[in-house]
Structure 1
């Protein structure tokens, strides 16, 4: 029997058909169109592009110099805000002590340092647009278009929610707390509030409310990052309501159910608003 021999076969390359060439060109055109669309989404305003161009041409020393300059501008704005606040410090004091009435100071320097403390805190608040802008202008070259949009929403929302929380505490909860503590006075035990201790109490009382009102922003941010979903937030609803009333009972100045509800109620409402934003706006 003759042995089988393997022969080499040369396969000639076939020319592509007209339809395949047309299809390939369409695919390339579609890819180029999608790339152009992505580039179009990342366009920047004239001010933003100028900041990015300057940041791209900077060395480490230049960045440190820019940071120092922005810190100086922020500090000058804070000092100016403090000076302006000190000019109106009497009016600010009258607003803060309104729930308590007449106050006293027991140390020679107590009133002075209390005035300075209020002036500095007010100065930080008054100058916040300036130093917020300095922070934003320094970090914006490192942010993408989507991240910048998030900062445009987060910063105003955080400030607004904090102010709402402080106002809610000052007008609704703080008077109840002061009235409760004054109620311990008797004919032989008269309440005598020191201005320094009172201001410390007021600041320590209303600041937590401002932070608590940031709850929707925190939940929405976690949802945007994919950590939380509307379904998970809904599943935690009963647990959160229980925790809200526990926290309300812990920080409530009075043991009655009304004060506890005044604290827990807004927390539950903010939680439900957060759930609605995740479900109907972000759709996560």
Structure 2
């Protein structure tokens, strides 16, 4: 007796149903399908970063000058140069070239890897919620870039504070790997901090956390933002600290409001369906 005679689907019908299930936004994916989807998204994101890094290679000289300007331009009251970036290893210029190129690649390819992040989450969302996810993808990129721009504006103030601690008559000879590691970490931290509220709304749509749960922990969120802003604004400079803290706190407030609104709409929908 054949599979069709036993009431079981033939191989062609099974493949067709699997293909349709992948296109069905309401379908559930198996663990194997999740892993294959994750591998696909990571591969695309990696290719995007590598392509962006190639562009970063050609922009290296300009980026190096832009990021080192706060250090190279630091002088005393008489105009004497007090700082200098000095390479102390043969392979250090190549290492720095690779680091900066990858950093530029992450920024340039941010639309790609942010989309891949959401594309991996989107199969778990209902069809209606995917429209919101697409809007959040468009919001993530400018927010990520805005966070990096904020860090760049704060950078000269941070450099000025650290150098103001130098004893009189001394100068700084700075290792580029230490300096640029500090700069790139600061930039990425501010960029990611601006994107976190978008991710927060996303996990709310997935039903992992509710808006009320996020709202109840707002004190801890504000405290964490204040600590991060204080660390990025050395010396406890209030203006710089609030410059960083204000936009991030506002974004979290907007994210909480969207989560509460989504929870209310979901509750109404469940009440109507019941």
User: TM > 0.5 between the two?
Assistant: yes
Question: Cα gap change, 1:201/1:75 in structure 2, threshold over 3 Å: closer, same or farther?
Answer: closer
Residue 249 in structure 1 maps to residue 230 in structure 2:
yes
Partner secondary structure for residue 213 of structure 1: helix
Partner of 1:185: 166
Distance 2:229 2:132 in 1: 31
TM-score of the pair, normalised by structure 2 = 0.64
| Conserved 8 A contact 1:82-1:119 | yes
Shift of 1:75: 5.1
Distance 2:129 2:256 in 1: 22
Shift of 1:178: 0.6
Residue 110 in structure 1 maps to residue 95 in structure 2:
no
Question: Cα gap change, 1:139/1:237 in structure 2, threshold over 3 Å: closer, same or farther?
Answer: closer
Shift of 1:105: 1.3
Question: Cα gap change, 1:91/1:153 in structure 2, threshold over 3 Å: closer, same or farther?
Answer: same
Question: Cα gap change, 1:69/1:255 in structure 2, threshold over 3 Å: closer, same or farther?
Answer: closer
Distance 1:64 1:240 in 2: 32
Shift of 1:174: 1.4
1:125-144 superposed matches below 5 A: 125-129=107-111, 144=126
1:6-155 superposed matches below 5 A: 52=23, 76-101=47-72, 102-129=84-111, 144-155=126-137
| Conserved 8 A contact 1:52-1:141 | no
Shift of 1:86: 0.9
The unaligned stretches of length 5 or more in structure 1 are 1-48
The unaligned stretches of length 5 or more in structure 2 are 1-19, 73-83, 266-274
Shift of 1:181: 0.9
Partner secondary structure for residue 266 of structure 1: helix
Partner of 1:214: 195
Question: Cα gap change, 1:262/1:175 in structure 2, threshold over 3 Å: closer, same or farther?
Answer: same
| Conserved 8 A contact 2:197-2:255 | yes
Distance 1:144 1:281 in 2: 13
Shift of 1:192: 1.8
Partner of 1:168: 150
Deviates more, 1:195-204 or 1:209-218: 209-218
Residue 159 in structure 1 maps to residue 131 in structure 2:
no
Partner of 2:179: 198
